[in-house]
Amino acid sequence: MPGVALLVFREVLEAALIISIVCAATRGVPRRGIFVAAGIGLGVVGALLVAVGAGFIANLAGGAGQDVFNAAVLLSAVLMIGWHVVWMSAHGREMALEMQAVGGAVKAGSRSLAVLLTVVSLAVLREGSEVVLFLFGMAAGGIGAAGLVGGIALGVGGGALVGFALYFGLLRIPLQHFFSVTNAMLILLAAGLASAAAGFLVQSDLLPAWGTQVWDTSHILSDGSVLGRTLGILIGYKAAPAGIQIAFYLATVAMFTAGVLWQRRRASVRAAAPPFQQTTIARPQH
Amino acid sequence: MKLSLPMAAMTALACAGPAAAADPPEFALVIKNHQYQPTELHVPADTKFKVRVTNEDATPEEFESTDFNRESVVLPNHSIVVFIGPLHAGTYGFFGDFHRDTAQGRLVVE
């Protein structure tokens, strides 16, 4: 049972950290709970399907199917987060203002919910499929129902607990900085996912490594440690990254930041112009 | 110029072409009874190589290393190929994520 609990915990932790950042980033959006729950549910179903189809996936792309699939899932999540972050940068300020005004009920964020539902389900799907494969093996190895269920409960419970801790920690950030912080966290999260995607493509030789280990800080903080793993998800920490992983990381940060700045400029231009609604009302009176 | 996905894939393949011609040396690992055989693999330093991991158990395993950043699921009675390196000389641990207590091995790069 401890083995089951530990593996489940490690995988659930990664998904839980992503989900809690997403939850924080959609703070105050109505029906958010339903969307996140639906995302988790879809992810679990997806994980089961991926685990069942693992043999099929593995044989795709000339045997590199697993790596290509993992990279595709990660890069899809990166794109989704990018869309949200760039869109939010134009609306984050008004969201924060509205939240202060009408006690958390905000309509502006609903559009972004479907995107974030996808991110949640992709995170659960990726980590979950590994858990399912592992549990298949454990069940076949005759671990017994009690050990299996107990291990799953402990692992899921532990991972969820860390996720909730991060979420409620984030809620303590003052409202005027809140969405800037969650947006920055989403950018770093996405950059880390992009770097991980590059790693998968390097290990099946589909991308050049551009230097296998550009630096090595594993003597300070190893990827295997709990803190290393946590920072690996939150900010994309890698003790010894490949050159191409650094490139993917920096490219993601640069592109998303540029998108945010561009949107902000557009938003401030729009704010300087007379509001749209007033001009439409004014027109019939002419 | 439009760079479509198929084109990008072709470019990647073209880049992989010369690498394939150089043909990185292949080493074999077998997983049996949730243990690696051999437990110690000697590989050349500063050379890109590949490891073929074959799972002879009836349950899935994940070939993983946090020392040289690789992770790949190996289904029962399947084998996978993982490209590794070039690595500096030294010892790098790897393990089976699904059976960490027994599936442990080392890569001796020299």
The answer to whether the Cβ–Cβ distance between B66 and A54 falls below 8 Å is: no
Q: What is the pLDDT of residue A56?
A: 92
| Six token digits for residue B93 | 């641990």
Q: For residues B24 and B95, what is the distance between their CA atoms, to the nearest angstrom?
A: 23
Q: Which residues contact B52 (CB under 8 A, 6 or more apart)?
A: B26, B27, B28, B29, B79, B80, B81
Please provide the CATH number assigned to the domain covering B24-109: 2.60.40.420
Q: What angle, 0 to 180 degrees and rounded to 10, lies between the N-to-C axes of helices A145-170 and A110-140? A: 150
**Which sequence spans correspond to the domains of chain A?**
2-274
A153 touching B (Cβ < 8 Å): no
Q: What is the pLDDT of residue A104?
A: 42
Query: By the 8 A CB rule, do B61 and B2 touch?
Result: no
Kindly list the residues from chain A whose CB atom is less than 8 angstroms away from the CB atom of residue B69: 199, 223, 238, 240-242
DSSP B53: E
The answer to whether the Cβ–Cβ distance between A138 and B59 falls below 8 Å is: yes
Q: What is the pLDDT of residue A278?
A: 45
Nearest to B75 among A55, A140, A212 (CB): A55
For chain A, residues with pLDDT lower than 70 are 92-111, 270-271, 273-286
pLDDT at B78 over 50: yes
Distance from CA of B13 to the nearest CA of A (A): 7
**Which sequence spans correspond to the domains of chain B?**
24-109
Kindly list the residues from chain A whose CB atom is less than 8 angstroms away from the CB atom of residue B100: 3, 6
Q: Which residues contact A152 (CB under 8 A, 6 or more apart)?
A: A4, A5, A8, A135
Residue A31's SS3 state is coil
What is the value of ipTM here, to two decimals? 0.84
DSSP character string of A259-285: HHHHHHHHHHHHHHSPPHHHHHHHGGG
Q: Distance of alpha carbon B26 from its chain centroid, rounded?
A: 10
